[in-house]
Chains A and B, each alone.
Chain A
């Protein structure tokens, strides 16, 4: 099975800061990697698909990059409404899926 790791597990940043989260796969998954945002008590929301494509309607301050085993998710200028937990998810071995453990983002 493909395992996913994320770092950090949590972070605190100031409004306007650039925030970066990394996700690593246990084997090469090409660009079969998505990013989700989950706010407390809500279902996850797809932000980035295929490693770097912004989902329709998602603000452009969110971006993703990477391929193979190493991926990065960036919020270019953190906003108060971005407080959430962010998950990466691989789909290299469809129809099976694996989520990363999540990164909790708070405002400092």
Chain B
């Protein structure tokens, strides 16, 4: 079955960038539509963006447009999410997630990103 293993926790200064990885096993990345969801401490789930299999493009939530880049390395079956111009409000757990149709039935374990001066 599909498993998603994410990179470890990060601490970044305001203004910096962070790149989180999500390694796929059990399937190849090309068979999946990978998405990213984040959760600030004590807050709810927030969809950030993901791959649209209909047109082969990656789309982003408007809130993150211009600051987030999601990429994939099919040679290693690893997805990446890079968020730039970090601010304290970006402190959150970042999850990769995938599934069929509109449901996310497979999630990574989450990566804590702390933005602090």
> Contact residues of A with B, CB < 8 Å?
1, 32, 34, 36, 38, 43-46, 49-50, 55, 87, 89, 91, 94-102
Contact = CB atoms under 8 A, between A and B. Distances in A.
B107 A91 contact: no
Interface of B: 33, 35, 37, 44-47, 50-54, 59, 61-62, 95, 97, 99, 101-105, 107-110
Contacts of B37: 44, 99
A36 B47 CA distance: 14
Contacts of A102: 44-45
B103 A96 contact: no
B99 to A, nearest CB: 7
Contact of B50 (A34, A38, A87, A95): A95
Given A46-B105, A99-B45, 13 more contacts: A43-B107, A43-B109, A46-B103, A50-B101, A89-B102, A91-B102, A94-B52, A95-B35, A95-B51, A95-B59, A96-B59, A99-B44, A101-B44
